[in-house]
Structure 1
Amino acid sequence: MFSKNAKFTTTTSLTPEKTSNQRNLVKGLVTAIGLALVTGPLSAQEGLSDDKVRIGVLSDMSGVYKALEGPGAVVAAQMAVEDFGGKIMDKPIEIVSADHQNKPDIGASTAREWIDADQVDMITALDNSSVALAVQGLASDKKVITMNTGAGTTALTEEQCTPYGIHYVYDTHALPVGTATAMVKNGGESWFFITADYAFGHSLQQNTADVVKELDGEVVGNVNAPLGTTDFSSYLLQAQSSGADVIGLANAGQDTVNAIKQANQFRIVQSGQKLAGMLVFITDVKSMGLDIAQGLQFTTAFVWNQDEEKQEWSQRFYDRHGAMPTMVQAGVYSAVTNYLKAIEEVGTDDSDAVRKQLGEMKLNDMFVKDGEILANGLMLHDMYLVEVKKPDESGDDWDLLRVVSTIPAEDAYIPLSETQCPLVNK
């Protein structure tokens, strides 16, 4: 094999005609070798890079977000592979998983090992915004696609967008569009926030506050609570003493459950203030029970029994996981499915080719209808404003929500014309 430093010489004993022919031959060889060095083997962009597709599910497997994504995300990914047929282009599809422990350094080091040593082709889940930003940046530097289903910060598709980063299920702009708008229009004009003290919480508070102010409401105060807080009493007392119409919970998972349960003990709602759960999952409602959660409104991307297709898939998920799927677990199934469809369509797992195809596809499955992935990585789709049912309205243990209204995709998300993503030419 020729080295790119190879040198070619001609001898002065050749005749002028032979010398000219020799030089033409050498010129042709050098051109061909140079082209090969630039483009690599012709088959490099075709087929699977290591005769398999390996997908990493990186989630909170043991902490405050375990129930909302965690092991259930692995189940959803496995179901996607099985429903796809277990193979792609007659090669195996593998799922690997790990616990990021809600620590960006652990998430990034896991992703680096997966990519460098284990040849992971795509990473999904990532249910913590600080972890998600760290992993998306690292993976993009290595030209690996991330399909984020669990984190909320808009930074993923705004100022920290990347060529290979996709934000799939929801973001902190879409959540308040439905919830905050409904509450302000129903008299909740002044707000006080209890905020998870990291990227997700601050992003959610800011985006919700923007919606409140646009509707001529006001924010009268806020307090930050560490991730994993178990005692919200001091934060709730500050919110209660503020006199705000609405106490906005800019947190998620067990933090939200703990805050709402303790607010009920303080009889905050009974005293006239309203609670706004800015990110609530069906597992949270189940944990609280309808007696406590009834009447709570929030925005979601998925309701398991909204139609027959969702219900059929959700029942299969329940049979394996023991709980109905959250929107992010359903999102993992959809993300993995559409990633595999893109590979099959282009005939390669090359990230550039797959990302381009994902951007050209209409996404249709049990989770999303007519979804599309924009140039900044945002997956554009409808959202739903829902309300928790009263106990006498529920038909069974998981019949917990009713859809109040559909929020069209174009209303839910930041328009591409207004994005701060540097990859987008506006």
Structure 2
Amino acid sequence: MRHHALILAASAAAIALTPFAAMAQEISDDVVKIGILNDQSGVYADFGGKWSVEAAKMAVEDFGGTVLGKPIEIVDADHQNKADIASNIAREWYDVQKVDAIMELTTSSVALAVQGLSKEKGKIDIVTGAASTELTGKQCSPYGFHWAYDTHALAVGTGGALVKAGGDSWFFLTADYAFGYSLEQQTGDFVKANGGFVLGAVRHPLATTDYSSFLLQAQASGAKVVGFANAGLDTANAIKQAAEFGIVAGGQQLAALLFTLAEVHGLGLEAANGINLTEGWYWDQNDENRAFGEKFFARTQRMPNTIQVGTYSAVLQYLKAIDAAKTDETKAVAAKLHEMPVSDAFTKTGKVQANGRMAYDMYLFQVKTPAESTKPFDYFKEIATVPAADAYLSVEDSGCDVSAFPK
């Protein structure tokens, strides 16, 4: 009887431990593998690039290096701003390397392509580097998330400020792909809704080096504001050439609709001062931001921008979601990402909407003059807060049919 009782006790203990043992095995392939896919050699190399990869690694380290007792691995690749190359890399990552989630995804055409593939494969993607509202609009995914900013937030922030300040006539220089079209349209709609006018627009190829013909058209339009619906080196080069054409000296204002700390640093305050821009994070806003910025600087010799800190936040929140779900299974983790508030070095007030849009407060900044800057990377002065409710489209207005998402 005693022997029989011992067997029963051992069996009961084994049964009691089984859920916990199973829980510890809920990590596919015994590793959580996150892919950072972005531009590392082209016009957006400073915009996100290898600096976003470094931010992702910081998130893994700050989380503790493991999740549910399993290691975390970051892999990265350069998509060269080409959707077909990005899709091929993503497919190989998912099918061969067993990558669990792909993040960053600079360039809207790339992000839309990879999000479509991720949806097909039942994988999570979190976009921090692309801006198109289509990601959480008509092309939304139950497993797709948009983290750092989007074209609507930029239009409300930068466009709104200039219209209110009297910049009521606009001409756009627009990057000739999905991101540029979206940014031009949404800013233009916002300008017109506030009593302004769009006098014209011209589209330029991605990564062009000669903006002279486009700038001459903008100058001839007589618009009070020349809006750059582009990003990265495209914006920096256009602003540099605008100075050479004397556009600002002639009385027109420049609006950089997607312009980050990285581009200001590359351009210099002499050329960039006075430009209004919208970002979701700036290193010198408060003590916590300064501490994060200094930690990032110690690794990279530069301060991070919204995209890079947004990538840190996306990776960290993904790992928190796995920990909360006790598995890296896609549906369970996606549910936690939708459910959990976002509070980290990037934002203290983030909330993920049903369509995957992470809504948080944005900020309107103005680039300082050289005389106003007192230390390295001291580039911005905060002009206004753009509340999350104003910055981002509601689920109802986004065009995303969340009723079609699996329950």
TM range (shorter): over 0.9
What does residue 214 of structure 2 align with? 235
The answer to whether 1:195 aligns with 2:174 is: yes
Change in Cα spacing, 1:46 to 1:372, as seen in structure 2 (3 Å) is farther
Whether 2:63 is the aligned partner of 1:66: answer no
- What CA RMSD, in Å, does the superposition of the two structures yield over aligned residues? 1.3
Aligned to 2:304: 325
Query: What corresponds to 2:240 in structure 1?
Result: 261
| Structure label with greater radius of gyration | 1
Report matched runs for 1:143-222 at 5 Å.
143-222=122-201
1:300 to 2:303 alignment: no
- Distance of 2:392 and 2:403 partners within structure 1: 16
Equivalent position of 1:85 in the other structure: 64
Shift, 1:187, TM fit: 1.3
User: Within 1, Cα distance between the matches of 2:90 and 2:401?
Assistant: 24
Instruction: Please give the per-residue CA displacement for 1:227-252, whole angstroms capped at 9, x wherever unaligned.
Output: 00111111000000011111110000
Q: Does the alignment pair 1:76 with 2:55?
A: yes
Moved more, 416-425 or 294-303: 416-425
Given that 1:376 and 1:424 are in contact with CA atoms closer than 8 Å, whether structure 2 keeps it comes out as no
Q: Secondary structure at the match of 2:29?
A: coil
Deviation of 1:417 (Å) = 2.5
From 10, 34, 55, the equivalent of 1:55 is 34
Match of 1:390 among 363, 369, 380: 369
SS of equivalent to 2:142: coil
Query: Is 1:113–2:116 an aligned residue pair?
Result: no
User: Once structures 1 and 2 are overlaid, which stretch shifts more, 412-421 or 255-264?
Assistant: 412-421
Q: Distance in 2 between matches of 1:284 and 1:412?
A: 22
Cα distance in structure 1, aligned partners of 2:243 and 2:300: 30
1:314 counterpart residue number: 293
- 1:45–1:350: 8 Å Cα contact kept in structure 2? no
Instruction: Tell me how far 1:43 sits from its aligned partner.
Output: 5.0
Q: Which residue of 2 aligns with 1:349?
A: 328
- 1:139/1:228 Cα in 2 relative to 1: closer, same or farther (>3 Å)? same
- Which residue among 285, 290, 295 is the counterpart of 2:264? 285
Distance 1:68 1:115 in 2: 26
**Further displaced range: 390-399 or 111-120:** 390-399
Other structure's SS at 2:151 match: coil
Query: Once the 2 structures are TM-superposed, how far is the Cα of residue 294 of structure 1 from its aligned partner?
Result: 1.0
Provide TM-score, normalisation by structure 2. 0.93
Equivalent residue letter for 1:218: F
| Matched position secondary structure for 1:391 | coil
**After alignment, is 63-72 or 83-92 more displaced?**
83-92
The answer as to whether partners of 2:171 and 2:225 remain within 8 angstroms in 1 is yes
State the Cα distance separating 1:105 from its structure 2 match: 0.3
SS at match of 1:224: strand
Q: Retained in 1: the 8 A contact 2:367–2:379?
A: yes
Name 1:30's counterpart in structure 2: none
Aligned-residue sequence identity (percent) comes to 52
**How far, CA to CA, are the matches of 2:77 and 2:89 in structure 1?**
8
Structure 1 runs (4+) deviating above 3 angstroms are 42-46
> What corresponds to 2:17 in structure 1?
none
For 1:143, give the aligned amino acid.
Answer: G
**Distance in 2 separating the partners of 1:71 and 1:120:** 19
Native 8 Å contact 2:152 2:393 kept in 1? yes
Structure 2 equivalent of residue 420 of structure 1: 399
One-letter identity of the residue aligned with 1:375:
A
Asked if structure 1 preserves the Cα contact closer than 8 Å seen for 2:23 and 2:327, the reply is no
How many pairs were matched up? 384
How far apart in 2 are the matches of 1:45 and 1:120? 19
Q: Is the 8 A contact 1:46 1:347 kept in 2?
A: no
